[in-house]
Structure 1
Amino acid sequence: MTETASRRPPMAGLHHFSPTVTDVEASAAWYERVLGLQRIPPPFPHYGNEETGYAVVLTDMAAGVTIGLHHNVANRGEPCDETRTGVDHVAIAVPARSDLDAWAAWLDHLGVKHAGVTDVTDPLKFSVLVFRDPDNIQLEMFYMDPQ
């Protein structure tokens, strides 16, 4: 007998983000350099569809951030465009507002273009630092004020 759910089952946070990229190795090097992620060897096959490609998985286990960069044989090499169906952006939480300033300085040091830190008060109080990866995927470092 199947029990009918009376409430939503629990979630434990976002596990990973997996974009398809134009050059897996170039993107992996960028994410390692910019976000300090570590590669988990070897590449992961597209389970059940191994002939279509593979993923290179990068992680910072302590921060709970994991990214699987996917190579797909059908990829035509277009940059990401958030105006089309697909990913708009990915936001990574930081523990304090001051961390956004530190990230801006880090990105400056690496020569990674960004929009600077933006502080928003309405309708919610938050701060965000926006930048893009080599495939034009928008990434955000995000701080939500708990007040």
Structure 2
Amino acid sequence: MKRISIYLLPALLVLSLFATGCLSNKTSNPVPYPIGTFEGQFRLLHKKLNETKIDTLKKANIQLVLETGGAYKVLGDTATVHAGSKGQYGINATYMAFNDETYPKTGTPVKIHLYGNYFYNYDGSTNLVILVNQGDTLNYRYDLKRVN
């Protein structure tokens, strides 16, 4: 009988750990997607160059309705800061993409629209945070809670 070299033992240990990890057949839970009516604040956050303080330039209380079929609408305080909007949205585990039907085809809109690709974080039941970076110093943040 030949002896196994002591140098092969770490490799055999790693190989056995990988092999036992593949034996179990666990399924992961699907990511819960936000559906329903959410209310909360929209904030326009601005960070000045060479400063650490972040200013909340504008804010508005809004309501976001996300429907099962992929339609959405923004309601609430849409008079000055944030535009009321509606359209279709798509979602995956990290991003939400909004296609606002009310977004102007030409020119720059006066108010902010929920339009484009956004990062989001949803706790699965109540809290929804939607965030987009507009360059290095400007962020749009939606802090919303599910109400229905």
> Would the TM-score normalized by the shorter structure come out above 0.5?
no
Comparing both structures, which one devotes a greater share of its residues to helix?
1
The two structures have a TM-score, normalised by structure 1, of 0.29
The two structures have a TM-score, normalised by structure 2, of 0.29
Comparing both structures, which one devotes a greater share of its residues to strand?
2
